[in-house]
């Protein structure tokens, strides 16, 4: 009975873990967005074989890498599992806030990024992205039939915003594999340059940054020194078996005036002790008389003799 309970518990935990992993995967892939689509490609980007075909750009809206293998691309809502993105390709991991382009040429045998379906110019084309379960719809878009060759249907901002026509002129870039909004200038920098023509403001800001960094560095070194001194003091206290309370009781914050005066007088006497010393050298002769009482020979009972056998 206990063995059966263990088996049931193990199966339950496994099912729960699988459900949680699937839920986490679906939640993470919800940030996978269709970003730009071209139906009729006559002068746009070519694939690795040099061919021009319809292409679909996906965008990772997350601020972390996303693995898109096993998701499904389709142009038929009744067949959500039309093209599964293959497993085992390192390029299916989209970096944070980056793009990937799939060619809708109907030739999946050419590689991972070649779908099994095509797009038809002159009619509405529906495109959907499904999660690995083939049921959860991650994103979809309807491409209008009015799209002309070399025009795209794209979002106004990467992964978000409304869909709009891109014709390829200066105000509507076509950017396969790149950001839909190209920022060539910075308005804040231009405004600052207009208000600070001579660069005095920039100089003051740079000096403030440098001095702030130096001040922070000095405070850091001061703090490190204090911490090191404290650690050294604690090690000395431990080596001598002194507790904090004992050290606080015997700690003197400053020397008294009497102690300073005594130390000063002692140093003065020490440094000036030989200034008046006499230079006369006296030598006295010391005579020591011989006494037999100090001779060890009289302590022997018999004088030793060397005898031959």
pLDDT tens, per residue, the chain with 309 residues: 455 556 656 555 554 444 434 444 444 689 999 999 999 999 999 999 999 999 999 999 999 999 999 999 999 999 999 999 999 899 999 999 999 999 999 999 999 999 999 999 999 999 999 999 999 999 999 999 999 999 999 999 999 989 999 998 877 889 999 998 877 666 777 777 777 777 788 888 889 999 999 999 999 999 999 999 889 888 888 887 877 777 776 665 555 677 788 888 888 887 776 555 566 666 676 666 656 666 665 555 666 666 765
β-strand partners of 152: 38, 166
Residue 86 confidence (pLDDT) = 94
Note the pLDDT of residue 23.
Answer: 41
Q: For domain 31-182, give the fold.
A: Immunoglobulin-like (2.60.40)
- Among 64, 84, 83, smallest CA distance to 75 is for 83
Q: How far apart are CA 56 and CA 35, in angstroms?
A: 8
Q: Which residues have C-beta within 8 Å of that of residue 300, sequence separation ≥ 6?
A: none
Q: How far is CA 265 from CA 144, 257, 260, 270, 274, in A?
A: 104, 12, 9, 8, 15
pLDDT of residue 237: 81
Q: What is the pLDDT of residue 18?
A: 45
Any idea what DSSP says for residue 197? S
Q: How many Å apart are CA 247 and CA 119, to the nearest integer?
A: 85
């Amino acid at each position: 009975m206990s063995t059966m309970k263990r088996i049931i518990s193990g199966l339950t935990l496994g099912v729960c873990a699988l459900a949680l992993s699937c839920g986490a995967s679906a939640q993470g892939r919800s940030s996978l967005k269709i970003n730009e689509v071209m139906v009729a490609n006559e002068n746009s980007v070519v694939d690795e074989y040099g061919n021009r075909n319809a292409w679909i750009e996906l965008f990772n809206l997350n601020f972390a890498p996303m693995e898109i293998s096993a998701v499904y691309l389709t142009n038929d809502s009744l067949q959500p599992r039309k093209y599964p993105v293959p497993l085992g390709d390192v390029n299916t991991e989209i970096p944070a806030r980056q793009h990937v382009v799939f060619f809708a040429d109907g030739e999946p045998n050419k590689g991972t990024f070649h779908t099994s379906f095509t797009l038809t110019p002159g009619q509405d084309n529906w495109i959907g992205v499904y999660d690995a379960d083939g049921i959860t719809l991650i994103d979809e878009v309807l491409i209008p039939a009015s799209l002309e060759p070399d025009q795209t249907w794209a979002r106004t901002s990467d992964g978000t915003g409304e869909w709009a026509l891109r014709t390829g002129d200066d105000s509507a870039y076509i950017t396969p594999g790149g950001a839909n909004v190209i920022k060539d200038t910075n308005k804040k920098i231009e405004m600052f340059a207009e208000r600070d023509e001579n660069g005095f403001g920039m100089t003051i800001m740079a000096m403030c940054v440098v001095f702030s960094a130096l001040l922070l560095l000095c405070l850091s070194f001061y703090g490190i020194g204090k911490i090191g001194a404290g650690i050294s003091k604690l090690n000395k206290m431990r080596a001598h078996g002194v507790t904090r309370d004992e050290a606080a009781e015997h700690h003197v914050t400053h020397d008294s005036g009497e102690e300073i005066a005594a130390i000063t007088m002692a140093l003065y006497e020490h440094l000036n002790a030989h200034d008046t010393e006499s230079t006369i050298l006296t030598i006295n002769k010391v005579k020591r008389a011989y006494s037999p009482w100090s001779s060890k020979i009289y302590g022997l009972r018999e004088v030793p003799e060397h005898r031959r056998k």
